[in-house]
Amino acid sequence: MTATPLPVRQAEARHAHNAAARPTLTPEVEALLTEAEHQAARREITSWPGYAPTPVVGLRGVAAAAGVAEVLYKDEAHRFGLGSFKALGGAYAVLRLLKDILAAEGHGDVSAQDLIAGRLRDRVARETVVCATDGNHGRSVAWGARMFGCACRIYIHENVSEDREAAIAAYGATMVRLPGDYDASVRAAARDAEANGWHLVADTNAGGGSDRVPNLVMQGYTLIVDELIDQLPEPPTHVFVPAGVGGLAAAIAGRWAVRAGAERPRIVVVEPLVADCVFRALRDGVPRPVEGDVNSFMACLSAGEVSPAAWPILKAVADDAVAIPDGLARETMRRLAHGAWGDAPLVSGESGCAAVAALLAAGADDALREALDLGREARVVCIGSEGATAPDLWAEATGLRPQDVTGEKTPA
Ligand SMILES: Cc1ncc(COP(=O)(O)O)c(C=O)c1O
């Protein structure tokens, strides 16, 4: 079995172990990701039109190339037709905010179904939700706002691609494009929400504010773990999960600890080398903002600050971080699209392929394999967090159109 050579020097992938990680569930994680909140998220989200668990795809060729027993790719390209796992988080937080407002006004426990059916339509239309985004979170918030009937403003920074902007605007959101990077747009959205009485639906509270909304967003993401546990014939030994501000990784790591306790898999957080805020925080035991340009090819992972709402969970139950070069992600995305390892061609976006890219880097590096305890018998889940959410960019990087791969009329 010969591993397909990687296009990027292995030495460029970096590893950090989290010395503070606990093998089992901690009281802190249990308090932040409660069963009651998970069940509330599950009840609402599974009632939305079009809900279905996203597929798990076996990648035998990638497993052979990485030198592990099994690679299972959780394909979030199919989440509610939005193209990424983010559909679970922002839209759910929008719903919970509206439910809180209506309950406080004496309307009782208004459900997603009530709002979708137009109950209290005029009242809900007077509320505005706002957030900053690299693309996918804003798409989720805008989709949620349209589904539940409130107004929406989405802040994007100068590097967000035009096709991502258009996809969000298609849900009727007012778009605000600003100079600077993601972290600057987070701060601008928080400031304007405060000044105008709008509701900030952020996936991070790095720009200020309480943990509540980012925590609701993470609760939405925890559904992925429950789907996986139902879908997998055997528990995995490792889960590779990409991180921007760390909300997805915290939800996956935390919920798995809640569900499996000491039997939980080893959690490996994947980031771009240029935006390695979670990597540094796990290595140093304390989060600090990454200075300088954090823009990565893995566009949705281009964040320089760990979400304070996610950090206590990551610190407790995220075992390792691997930071990878942009070139490795680009080449992995291209090869997955072409089925280069002998698997069926896969539409995996710039950030969606990061987990597979890091696994391949680890598989090709004996020291890294050993550090991650990644033996030949390892069963690895890769969270494929998005499909071609920027279809033009995906086509340019792969030489294919998403629909050539999926056979669908609209991009996966
Ligand atoms: C496709 C994709 N993958 C991964 C992430 C990382 O999630 P988080 O920022 O919660 O760490 C994002 C965030 O926007 C994303 O859009």
Q: What is the pLDDT of residues 10-57, one digit of tens each?
A: 558 999 999 999 999 999 999 999 999 999 999 999 999 999 999 999
| Closest by Cα among 315, 286, 307 to 137 | 307
> Beta 238-242 vs 379-384: how paired, if at all?
parallel
- Is residue 67 within 8 Å of residue 341, measured between CB atoms? no
Fold observed for domain 10-84+218-406:
Rossmann fold (3.40.50)
122 is catalytic: no
Over the stretch 260-281, which tens digit does the pLDDT of each residue have? 999 999 999 999 999 999 999 9
**Range 94-105 average pLDDT:** 98
**Count of C-beta atoms within a 10 Å radius of residue 376:** 9
Q: What is the pLDDT of residues 171-230, one digit of tens each?
A: 999 999 999 988 789 889 989 999 999 999 999 988 777 899 999 999 999 999 999 999
CATH of 90-202, one of 3.40.50.1100, 3.30.2020.10, 3.30.210.10, 3.30.460.10: 3.40.50.1100
Q: How far apart are CA 9 and CA 286, in angstroms?
A: 29
Please indicate whether residue 86 is annotated as part of the active site.
yes
Among 316, 244, 327, 331, smallest CA distance to 279 is for 244
Q: What is the pLDDT of residue 207?
A: 75
Going by C-beta distance under 8 Å and a sequence separation of 6 or more, which residues neighbour residue 140? 82, 84, 86, 87, 88, 89, 90, 91
- Residue nearest ligand 1's atom 12 by CA: 300
| Atom in ligand 1 nearest the alpha carbon of residue 76 | 1
Check pocket membership of 272 for ligand 1, CB cut-off 6 A: no
Phi-psi category of 149—alpha, beta or left, where left has phi over 0 and alpha has psi -120 to 50?
left
Give the residue-averaged pLDDT of 84-111: 97
Number of Cβ within 10 Å of residue 52's Cβ equals 10
Check if the beta carbon of residue 120 is closer than 8 Å to that of residue 114. Answer: yes
HSE toward the beta carbon, residue 198, CA cutoff 13 A: 21
Residue 340: name the closest of 64, 47, 21 by CA. 64
Of the candidates 134, 226, 276, 320, the residue annotated as catalytic is 134
pLDDT band at 409 (very low <50, low <70, confident <90, very high): low
**Helices in 201-310 by DSSP H: which ranges?**
212-221, 223-231, 247-260, 277-284
Distance CA 406, CA 299 (A): 23
The answer to whether 53 and 362 are in contact (CB under 8 A) is no
**Which residue from 327, 296, 276, 333 is spatially nearest to 8, judged by alpha carbons?**
327
Q: How far apart are CA 209 and CA 228, in angstroms?
A: 32
pLDDT class of 412 with cuts at 50, 70, 90? very low
Contact 19, 281 (CB under 8 A): no
pLDDT above 70 (res 9)? no
Q: Which residues belong to CATH 3.40.50.1100 in the chain?
A: 10-84+218-406, 90-202
Q: Return the best residue to mutate from 131, 185, 205, 248 for the ligand 1 pocket (most ligand atoms within 8 A of CB).
A: 248
- On the CB side of 389, CA atoms within 13 Å amount to 36
149 in contact with ligand 1, CB cutoff 6 A = no
- The predicted pLDDT at position 4 comes to 57
Of the candidate ranges 129-138, 326-335, 379-388, 401-410, the one whose mean pLDDT is the lowest: 401-410
Q: Please report how the helices 391-398 and 326-337 are oriented relative to each other, as an axis angle in degrees rounded to 10.
A: 80
Q: What is the pLDDT of residues 107-147, one digit of tens each?
A: 999 999 999 999 999 999 999 999 999 889 999 999 999 99
pLDDT at 394 over 50: yes
Residue 1's pLDDT is 40
